[in-house]
Amino acid sequence: MRFSAQVKPISYLKANAAEILLNLAEKQEPMVITQNGEAKAVIQDIASFEQAQETLALLKLLALGNRDVEAGRTTPARAAIEKLRSTTTGH
């Protein structure tokens, strides 16, 4: 994805907000908004934002899991399954 095709000044955002929102939803590509020639903000459609947040959450869980493995905080699969079974059956 190239952000250079989606760089617009803030004046464009102000004048074309409704059209921009439609395009964001349709293309699902973020837009960089500039002010005085400097990038100041990125806007994107809500579906893409939510997907990105879910992806970040999964990556964080993977990173935490990797830290646990590196620190030796692991349990063999059989033991974990048995513990789950005993918790759900009350044994």
- Provide the pLDDT confidence category of residue 88 given band limits of 50, 70 and 90: confident
DSSP assignment letter at 76? -
**DSSP assignment of 1-21, as one string?**
--GGGGEEEHHHHHHSHHHHH
* pLDDT band, very low/low/confident/very high, at 89 (cuts 50, 70, 90): confident
Predicted local distance difference test score (pLDDT) of residue 5 = 72
Ordered by where they begin, the domains of the chain are 3-44 (3.40.1620), 47-89 (no CATH)
* Angle at CA of residue 66, ends 87 and 56, nearest 5°: 95
Q: 15-63: per-residue pLDDT in tens?
A: 999 999 999 999 999 999 999 999 999 999 999 999 999 999 999 999 9
Digit-coded pLDDT (tens) for 57-85? 999 999 999 999 999 999 999 999 999 99
* Cut 0.85: pTM above it: no
